[in-house]
Amino acid sequence: MGIERGLAKIVVKGAGKKKQLLHLVFGGELTSLDKVEFKDLKGLDIVGIYPNYAEAFAAWRDAAQRSVDDAHMRYFIVHLHRLLEPETESGAVAKG
């Protein structure tokens, strides 16, 4: 009975948590403005990995604003959760 109560506490405790949807924010200098090809892969700026889109977007905006004077610098948000779990609803891929 004590174990059941312990398990119930764990379930209730985690019930209010949002699912972790990982996002990667990175950027670098492009070779040209008309395609996404990086000039130096070793020089990519890995800003970080974030638990949700809102935090990733804030980090992306900060990084992009720091490089606003350099037209060839671009930052991107990659939805890692879609790559890690392509079959889930949050990572649903359009089928054509």
Please name each of the domains of the chain with its CATH number.
Answer: 18-84 (3.30.70.2400)
Q: DSSP letter string over 22-87?
A: -EEEEEEEBS-TTS--BS-GGG-EEEEEESSHHHHHHHHHHHHHHTTT-TTEEEEEE-HHHHH-TT
Q: Which amino acid is at 61?
A: R
pLDDT bucket at 20, cuts 50 / 70 / 90: confident
pLDDT value at residue 54: 95
pTM summary value:
0.70
Write the burial class of residue 67 (CB in 10 Å: 0-12 exposed, 13-18 middle, 19+ buried).
middle
Task: List, for residues 26-74, the tens digit of each pLDDT value.
Answer: 999 999 989 998 999 999 999 999 999 999 999 999 999 998 888 889 9
